[in-house]
Amino acid sequence: MIQKLKNIYHFIRALSANYWYGFPSRKLQVIGVTGTDGKTTTTHLIYHVLSSAGKKVSMISTIFAKIGREEYDTGFHVTTPDATLIPRYMKMARDQGQEYFVLETTSHRLDQNQLAGIQFEVAVITNITHEHLDYHRTINEYAQTKMKLIQMAKVGIVNADDEVTQKTISNLKFKILNLKTYGLTNKASYSIDFRKDIPNLADFNAYNYLAAYAVCRELGLTDKEIRTACSTFILPAGRIDIVYNKKFMVIVDFAHTPNAIECILQTIRKQYVHGKGRLIHVFGSAGLRDRTKRFAMGKASATFADISYITEEDYRTEDPQKIADEIGLGFGNKQYFVELNREKAIHAALDEAKPNDIVVVTGKGHEKSLCRGRSEYPWSDKNCIQSYVHLLS
């Protein structure tokens, strides 16, 4: 009951903000991007393709808001800003003569009605895997919430190869009038394998590229325009980010779900680990968030990494040792190390690394702060790594 009342409150706030700013989404072509993994990369891809094709485009992603030529910080650990800020950014974009607006969208904002009043031209769902079950309770409820974005758009695009997405669509109580699909395995409206065009493209990123391709085709761009732009795309900060590559390699990635960790570790082992090289993984799990995923995160690291260090990751008011123990259950009988101080854990992994080894630090990616207790402290995985390897050189 309390959550329903909160959602009504947010609905009124969202509509009021859109009214105040003159419902700016009606004067833009808004593209919504949601899903468990790949949202940020897909958002940035769509923005890059549209921009490369000469379109005037703005966006809001997990990393920042880009309105015209200006970048704006959206806050700590925020993907989709508050309901009152979204139409404000959209009005700023429209006032600057922008035509398109790409909005990365979370299930929380969808469930809370914080996107009420926004008119979407196209919406895409990248995939649906285990995440946020502390809030949504079941994977089905989580998936149903994601589908709200498709319902709000003129054109909906979904992953034909994603099992949960397809199962959810088959059980929907409402009809999606204009639904398109993309995929590499099952029959789909769009089925372009960008791995043939782009060297060393990760399998999971092949889907992100294809999702962006499908969106941009629906917006009227040509095949050539999209492919040309995709060939020059650089992944966003904190996504397969190689921050050191001399005696050994160190990669930072935002992966923080079981599926994302499995995908990134598999990709790095396939593309970068050679000879007798080992894969060394440093990671944790956020406090006061979905506890049920911790076992699966540990299992993924145990399966695909040779050496694993469990550490803090925005533990908030939870006991970081308890979080580490819950992750550790996923390792079964395989050995792992616990160093709750993130800086010390990264240093330990770097000290362990030998020639041909790959150190992968996941969970924080581009983020610039670390939450301990009720306070945010300045933090960067990338800076931590670069300052320490400089001392090792």
Q: Which residues contact 130 (CB under 8 A, 6 or more apart)?
A: 36, 139, 257, 258, 259, 290, 292, 293, 296
- Cα–Cα distance between 96 and 92 in angstroms, integer? 6
pTM of full prediction above 0.85: yes
> Would you tell me which CATH number, out of the four given (3.90.190.20, 2.10.70.10, 3.30.465.10, 3.30.450.40), belongs to the domain 241-392?
3.90.190.20
Residues 293-341 pLDDT 10s: 999 999 999 999 999 999 999 999 999 999 999 999 999 999 999 999 9
Instruction: Provide the pLDDT for residue 386.
Output: 96
Q: Which residues contact 131 (CB under 8 A, 6 or more apart)?
A: 36, 142, 257, 290, 293
Instruction: Provide the pLDDT for residue 212.
Output: 98
> Would you tell me which CATH number, out of the four given (3.40.50.300, 3.40.50.150, 3.30.420.610, 3.40.1190.10), belongs to the domain 2-230?
3.40.1190.10
Instruction: Provide the pLDDT for residue 137.
Output: 81
Phi-psi region of 209 (alpha: psi -120 to 50; beta: other; left: phi over 0): alpha
Neighbours of 23 (CB within 10 A): 17
Q: Which residues contact 270 (CB under 8 A, 6 or more apart)?
A: none
Q: Tell me the pLDDT band of 269, cut-offs 50, 70 and 90.
A: very high
β strands within the chain, DSSP E:
29-34, 57-60, 65-67, 70-72, 100-104, 120-125, 153-159, 179-182, 241-245, 249-253, 279-283, 307-310, 337-338, 358-362, 369-372, 375-378
Closest of 105, 137, 144, 81 to residue 290, by C-alpha: 137
Is the pLDDT at 387 greater than 80? The verdict is yes
Tokens (6 digits) for 329: 């259950």
Residues 144-183 pLDDT 10s: 999 999 999 999 999 999 999 999 998 887 777 799 999 9
Residues 173-224 pLDDT 10s: 777 779 999 999 989 999 999 999 999 999 999 999 999 999 999 999 999 9
Q: Where in the chain is the domain with CATH 3.90.190.20?
A: 241-392
Q: Where in the chain is the domain with CATH 3.40.1190.10?
A: 2-230
Instruction: Provide the pLDDT for residue 382.
Output: 97
Considering the chain, what is the average pLDDT of its residues? 94
Closest of 190, 312, 330 to residue 258, by C-alpha: 330
User: What's the gap between Cα 362 and its chain centre?
Assistant: 12
Instruction: Provide the pLDDT for residue 1.
Output: 64
In a 10 Å sphere around its CB, with 0-12 CB exposed, 13-18 middle and 19+ buried, how is residue 308 labelled? buried
Instruction: Provide the pLDDT for residue 361.
Output: 98
Q: Tell me the pLDDT band of 132, cut-offs 50, 70 and 90.
A: confident
> What percent of the chain has pLDDT above 90?
85
> What percent of the chain has pLDDT above 70?
98
- Cα–Cα distance between 305 and 307 in angstroms, integer? 6
Instruction: Provide the pLDDT for residue 393.
Output: 66
Longest CA–CA span in the chain (Å) reads: 62
Closest of 365, 375, 334 to residue 255, by C-alpha: 365
The pLDDT of 353-366, averaged and rounded, is 97
